Amino acid sequence: MIILKSKEEIFLMRKAGKIAAETMKLIKKAIRPGVETIYLDKIAEKFILSQGARPSFKGYRGFPFSICTSLNEEVVHGIPSHRRLKEGDIIKIDLGVEVDGYNGDLASSFPVGKVSEEAFRLIRVTKEALEMGISQCIPGNHLSDISYAIQSHTEKNGYSVVRQFVGHGIGQAIHEDPQIPNFGTPGKGPRLEEGMVFALEPMVNLGQSEVEILSDNWTVVTCDRKLSAHFEHTVAITSHGPLILTA
């Protein structure tokens, strides 16, 4: 069941989204060669708590940290560690913030120092795919119009979308109905209505779409070990169109 949110609830979700966006900005500033991914987690947790908020991911199904840090061929759910960033890496940061009982979910991909042209283009196309999905968040559209927009932009650029992990509804829970695949044919699924709030999150692979989970039971990697990028925003559907809450 898709839970519709009132204007007041969307206002609270905007608060969570803003803290998430500010956290991401702090992390972005700290990303450089030599930095340990666990340091990024510490900065994030400290800031989120200082805002009277809670990192939604910490303790979620036993996840031990406040953010996910996924490098290069890691797609999502990478665990912060003492591993150091290297020049040429791409890092994906995924974070959730809960405040006043409502959540915001946000992910971005960043180059570490100077990266290959290939890596840079992958990041750009993934970000554009998210923007294409967001542009479909209009009352009256179908859910799969979002999926189709993301998939077609990705594949037109020669990349593939991950199929095993999907976007989702969000509100008082970090994961709510519906599931929002990053692939599909247009015109299918429920009609979008004012008050729906979605976390759209294309995961785009340079090579094949297949992914697997490492033995740590969290880290998702591409099977061909080629690069992957990820962007996510929490978006409310309003009568004026999409409202990005994590901007």
User: Rounded to the nearest 5 degrees, what angle is found at the Cα of 25, between the Cα atoms of 21 and 29?
Assistant: 170
Q: Considering only the stretches 69-77, 99-107, 144-152, 202-210, report the one whose residues sit in contact with Mg ion under the rule CB under 5 A.
A: 99-107
DSSP bridge pairs for 91:
71, 110
Q: Is residue 150 within 8 Å of residue 130, measured between CB atoms?
A: yes
Q: Beta partners for 68?
A: 94
Nearest CA-CA partner of 2 in 134, 198, 133, 232: 198
With contacts defined by CB under 5 A, name the span among 54-62, 81-89, 104-112, 182-190 that binds Mg ion.
104-112
Record the tokens describing residue 210, joined without a space. 């297949």
Output phi, psi for 46, to 5 deg. Answer: -60, -45
Beta bridge partners of 168: 179, 199
Whether residue 106 contacts residue 115, with contact meaning beta carbons closer than 8 Å, is answered with no
Q: Applying CB under 5 A, which part among 6-14, 25-33, 50-58, 201-209 lies near Mg ion?
A: 201-209
Question: What is residue 245's DSSP assignment?
Answer: T
User: Which ranges constitute the DSSP H helices of 1-99?
Assistant: 7-30, 37-50
Q: Which is nearer to Mg ion, 176 or 201 (CB)?
A: 201
Q: Which is nearer to Mg ion, 45 or 105 (CB)?
A: 105
Q: How far is the CB of 162 from Mg ion (least distance, A)?
A: 13
According to CB under 5 A, which residues from 69 to 88 bind Mg ion?
Answer: none
For residues 41 and 105, which CB has a smaller minimum distance to Mg ion in the complex?
Answer: 105
56 vs 136 by CB, closer to Mg ion: 56
Nearest approach, Cβ of 123 to Mg ion (angstroms)?
18
Minimum separation from the CB atom of position 232 to Mg ion (A): 5
Least Å from the CB of residue 82 to Mg ion: 26
105 part of the interface to Mg ion, by CB under 5 A: yes
Q: Residue from 199, 204, 220, 229 that binds Mg ion (CB under 5 A)?
A: 199
Interacting residues with Mg ion (CB under 5 A) = 105, 199, 201
